[in-house]
Structure 1
């Protein structure tokens, strides 16, 4: 049961856009808005994750980030496939 109210004002065209998207997902406006706001809030919070390493562990971490990626045949095959919407020559 929801007990905390969240109120906001929007332009009519913003409301209409939200309503259109909510309808496509068979959701009420408030459910759609709450879900979208929570997803964005989680994303913002996850971007703020902080961790600390000792100097030697940090250097190893940096070396791993700077190292070239290992060969990945599956990814190479995937990237070699031309997308159906790509009309340019490769």
Structure 2
């Protein structure tokens, strides 16, 4: 899961334009969060794996999509907090 999370985090950072000053740990965390977001979206959209529940990890494609969503949310939160200072 760590390797998939790193790959998803790196791809999400490459796909979404702009600078993201985060290191390897931040990229890994982005990928892990993205994997859970992708798993949740897969649960909602496809209704599979009801036994596993909504909090589950996803594959590489779901992780990348989830990481892109997480990165966009992170930028919105970070951007709004800096604008108030």
TM-score range, shorter chain: 0.3 to 0.5
TM-score, scaled to structure 1: 0.33
Bigger fraction of residues in helix: 2
